[in-house]
Amino acid sequence: MARGLGVLFFVLLPAAWIVAVAAVEGANDGLTAYEFTRYLHQLLFVYWIGPDIGVYYLSHRITDPQLSVGQRLAAAQVMAQVDLIPRVCLSLMLTVGGILTEFVGIPHPAWQMVGIVLLGPVWLTMVLIIYFRRGTALGDAVTKIDFYFRAFMILAVLASVGWSFGTGRLTDTPWVGSKLVLFAVILLFGLLMRLRVAPLMAGLGKLASEGASAETDQMMAASLKRTKPYVLAMWAAILLAAFAGVVKPGDRTADAPVAELSSIAPR
């Protein structure tokens, strides 16, 4: 648990630092609420894809029969710890992104803004329960809930995009809709990958309890191979979403964002 808290501290440290600097009297460097929210959005992206690449690398260490059982189990432990970082980032991305779009002039009705603000903390709580209580009845129950919650979020995000385009809210900022669709695609690939990684996790349990065997090694390697297309597709979708956020294809709005905190008040 201490290592997991250390990981979270490492993720949130830059955000805490910039808040502290902004609060120093006489050190006004022009930092606005919009800039801080944009910084958080970029931070989540970096810590999402970076550690995720590390997780994929460590997964190959787990399935390497040339390594000892102890080395493979140690790699699995480190992989689980590192994997917490992209999971945290994923859970907060829609909340931070939603607030950011409010700053750039896309108003949200009250019911939608309430959902956006509450989504991050609720999703993050599930992620932390799954990590810190894994192997317990509560952890297993929340893991199942998380699977169906992500499936629901796919439909909810797509429905929100369709409603937003239908009402003309995204006419001037179609790139926002494309980013949301890509987020839904990422969730879908993640669920499909989770189904195909189940034999790998089962094999890991056998490795810990029974030791290495040719049958277990083959099962784990085959499972990992089946997940590769989804992993690569997820990374491509993340990069495309980041590209859309920078280039903003089809954008018709003014360059200057709405930088007052009052701009995020529900409408």
Higher pLDDT, residue 266 or 190:
190
Mean pLDDT for the stretch of residues 184-202: 94
Reported as a pLDDT band with limits 50, 70 and 90, residue 12 is low
Query: Which pLDDT belongs to residue 158?
Result: 97
Structural contact between residues 108 and 116, judged by C-beta atoms closer than 8 angstroms: yes
Reported as a pLDDT band with limits 50, 70 and 90, residue 34 is confident
| In the predicted structure, residue 250 carries a pLDDT above the cut 70 | yes
- Least confident window among 5-19, 61-75, 168-182, 187-201: 5-19
Percentage of residues of the chain with pLDDT beyond 70? 83
Would you state the structure tokens that stand for residue 108, as one six-digit string? 């949200």
Mean pLDDT for the stretch of residues 65-89: 94
Query: Which pLDDT belongs to residue 253?
Result: 79
DSSP string, 130-148: HHHTTTSHHHHHHHHHHHH
CA distance 90 to 81: 15
Mean pLDDT for the stretch of residues 82-92: 95
DSSP string, 199-215: HHHHHHHHHHHH---HH
Query: Which pLDDT belongs to residue 30?
Result: 58
Mean pLDDT for the stretch of residues 220-247: 94
Condensed to tens digits (0 to 9), the pLDDT of residues 132-154 reads 999 899 999 999 999 999 999 99
Helix, strand, coil distribution of the chain in percent, nearest 5? 80, 0, 20
Q: Find tokens 């919650």 and name the residue.
A: 149
Q: Where are the domains of the chain?
A: 2-23+32-252
Amino acid present at 32 = T
Structural contact between residues 39 and 18, judged by C-beta atoms closer than 8 angstroms: yes
Backbone region of residue 43 per phi and psi (left: phi > 0; alpha: psi in -120 to 50; beta: other values): alpha
Query: Which pLDDT belongs to residue 78?
Result: 94
| In the predicted structure, residue 262 carries a pLDDT above the cut 50 | no
| In the predicted structure, residue 1 carries a pLDDT above the cut 80 | no
Query: Which pLDDT belongs to residue 265?
Result: 42
Q: Dihedral of the CA atoms 84, 87, 92, 97 (nearest 10)? A: 130
Reported as a pLDDT band with limits 50, 70 and 90, residue 264 is very low
Query: Which pLDDT belongs to residue 36?
Result: 87
